[in-house]
Amino acid sequence: MNYTRMVIEKEAPEEYGYDRIRFNLSESSIADQKLSDIGLSLPDLTLFYGEHRGDKQLRALISAQDAGISPDDVLVTAGAAGALFIISTSLLSANDHLVVIRPNYATNIETPRAIGCAISFVDLAFEEGFAIDVERVKAAIRPDTKLISVTCPHNPTGTMMSRAELDALVALAESSDCHLLVDETYRDLSYGRRLPTAASLSPKAISGSSLSKAFGLSEAAV
């Protein structure tokens, strides 16, 4: 793959230098801390490879959040970006096509682009409240479409799909014999009644989430 560094990587505070930033209004995690700063201590730990898909008890806790998901449906990764990379490289090839509802997280665009597959964008508009037009998504589907990619809660506007819109996208993926990826990284920051995880609704739906945004725990994701 011909992978190009994303703008978000070049502009990260770690790259730019924290000492050069006077007011950081965009950091998605918390400042560096020690466990002792928050009153925690850990006993002596045994460091080992662990289970490839993640600890069984952890996967059971994650799957228990929604009916319709089993521990075997859960993959624990070191960072949401790693999970999204796995999804793209597992489902897409240079001969495939995906539909990206944009704006979207950069990894969901740049990794498929590096793979060499064709991409169709369905752009959301401010004037329409960044609402998803499922019919426009349907019109972008091709016979070689393998994946539909969307974020919810939406990154970066924070808008939410309705349950009807989510169900319509799931039904579209099923009828088109492709997968639906819902990047749910901001799920735990949503207000009011939460949508079910997309993965609980269909074998064709994939949910990606993370602890970095809602909990400030960077590099921990499923």
**pLDDT tens digits, residue range 141-195?**
999 999 999 999 998 898 999 999 999 999 999 999 999 999 999 888 888 888 9
CATH of the structural domain 1-222, one choice from 3.40.50.2000, 3.40.640.10, 1.10.560.10, 3.40.50.300: 3.40.640.10
Helix, strand counts (H, E) of the chain: 7, 5
Helix, strand or coil, per DSSP, at residue 37 = helix
Pairing mode, strands 145-151 and 118-123: unpaired
Helices (H), 34-188: 56-63, 80-91, 107-115, 134-140, 163-176
**DSSP 8-state symbol, 79:** S
Rounded CA-CA distance 90/85 in Å is 8
CB atoms < 10 A from the CB of 10, how many?
9
- The structural domains of the chain, with segments of one domain joined by +, span 1-222
- Cα-flanking dihedrals φ and ψ of residue 84, to 5°? -65, -35
Ordered per-residue pLDDT tens for the chain, 222 residues: 666 666 666 677 777 777 888 887 766 666 677 778 878 888 887 888 888 899 999 999 999 988 889 999 999 998 888 899 999 999 999 999 999 999 999 899 999 999 999 999 999 999 999 999 999 999 999 999 999 999 999 988 989 999 999 999 999 999 999 999 999 998 888 888 889 999 999 999 999 998 888 777 764 444
pLDDT of residue 30: 62
Largest Cα separation within the chain, whole Å, is 56
| Torsion, Cα of 123, 205, 160, 139 (10° steps) | 30
Tokens linked to 172 = 């579209």
Strand 145-151 relative to strand 97-102: parallel, antiparallel, unpaired? Answer: parallel
